[in-house]
Amino acid sequence: MAVPILCLLCCWLPWSVFVQELEVEEHLTVGRVVFEARAVDRFGQPLEGLKNENFQLKIGGRVVPILNCEWVDRRIPVQRAVVDENWKPELETLDSEFIDEMGPMPGEPGYGKEKFTVVFYQGSINPVRMSGMVRSRMFARQVVESLPEDGYTAVFSFHSHLQLKCDFTKEPAMLEDALWEAIESDPEVVFNAGNYPTLTPYFSEERGRDVADVETAFLEMARALRNFKGIKNMIFVGWGVGSWSPSSGMMYNSTYYRAVEELIEADVSVFSLDLTLADYHSLAEGMAKLSVQTGGAYWSLYRWPNKAVKMINGTLAGYYSLTYEHPTDLRKNAKYRLSLKGVKGYLVVRDPYNR
């Protein structure tokens, strides 16, 4: 059957979040549908303990009951696989100080539940944006410090091309250095992992030099992250996506749409932190559009940066896995709307069909 065009309308903070409608049309057979929804209160704390009746889903104006609601807490440590103490990676040279434990293999406890976060900094030679970059580093560090201790974090930057500043690691000191290096345009790399999990097989310095715009940067990172199983989020600290002209308004090239498809295929949600020192600018629309289409959200660091940090920390803390039975007699192009019922808060919804 033809799935109707999906339009996700989430509740957003009026002071920081740019609302963008998402429309998708695909052809597939549907029955029970499972999708993710994140819920936080106005203070940025995750809303735990919600039940089926706390979510109201409307499709084409018709209420569709939520059949199952399960809270997934990213802060709970993943059960680790047992690692042979005598195991050594097959590399000619390796600093043993950086050897991390192996992740769980298929069939072992914890497989597919690993936690991966990528921090992506968008650079600029514009003096005003440079000021915003330096200012944003402190808030990006606060977000990284709040991530689960058993999760892995990597850092990329884009100035004139895409650079991997730090491979996946759990070490706070390395990430601290990498966040500073991401602001700089020099080629220094803080850390390359020697074994799992590492981005080395999927990304190289030579490949990064061929990346000429931020849309292609998202495309390359998505293709690399597709090789990892688990919960994957990207924190985009930048100033814009797309281009704007007085005659045409916001425009997006074909690479942008390919990047969105790859991010969704890789199951990566993009959470944007706008470093621009202004209440509003045209390219913020592109950041918000990318975030909404991938199941993330957008916040500005200009007026209320501390609240933006609390909101993103609460949103990343966990999510609800929701299940419903897809109606079979819907009209074409029916709209979808998910809202909270009996509780106040804000929703970040991942599109169940745009994947």
Q: Among 31-45, 146-160, 175-189, 336-350, whose mean pLDDT is lowest?
A: 175-189
d(CA 58, CA 65): 9
Mean predicted lDDT score pLDDT of the chain: 82
Total Cβ atoms within 10 A of residue 26: 13
Question: CATH code for 112-316?
Answer: 3.40.50.410
Q: What's the pLDDT score for residue 18?
A: 40
Identify which has the larger pLDDT, 104 or 271: 271
Q: What's the pLDDT score for residue 60?
A: 84
Q: Report if pTM > 0.85.
A: no
CA angle 41, 147, 286 (to 5 degrees): 70
Q: What is the DSSP letter of 2?
A: B
Q: Is 190 helix (H, G, I), strand (E, B) or coil?
A: coil
318-325, strands of its sheet edge to edge: 66-73, 318-325, 32-40, 346-349
Domain ranges of the chain: 1-41+50-74+317-355, 112-316
Please choose, from the candidates 194, 266, 196, 191, the residue with its C-alpha nearest in 3D space to the C-alpha of residue 226.
Answer: 266
Please choose, from the candidates 224, 118, 207, the residue with its C-alpha nearest in 3D space to the C-alpha of residue 169.
Answer: 118
Query: Which tokens in the block code for residue 148?
Result: 């689960």
pLDDT tens column, 71-125: 999 888 876 554 455 544 454 444 444 444 455 555 555 556 789 999 999 998 8
Identify which has the larger pLDDT, 100 or 145: 145
For 122, 154, 275, 292, the CA distances from 14, given in Å and listed in that order, are 25, 31, 18, 15
Q: What's the pLDDT score for residue 28?
A: 40
Q: Where are the beta strands (DSSP E) in the chain?
A: 32-40, 55-59, 62-64, 66-73, 115-122, 152-158, 162-169, 231-238, 243-245, 249-251, 268-274, 298-300, 318-325, 336-340, 346-349
Reported as a pLDDT band with limits 50, 70 and 90, residue 302 is: very high
Identify which has the larger pLDDT, 127 or 204: 204
Q: Among 18-22, 143-147, 236-240, whose mean pLDDT is lowest?
A: 18-22
Identify which has the larger pLDDT, 31 or 240: 240
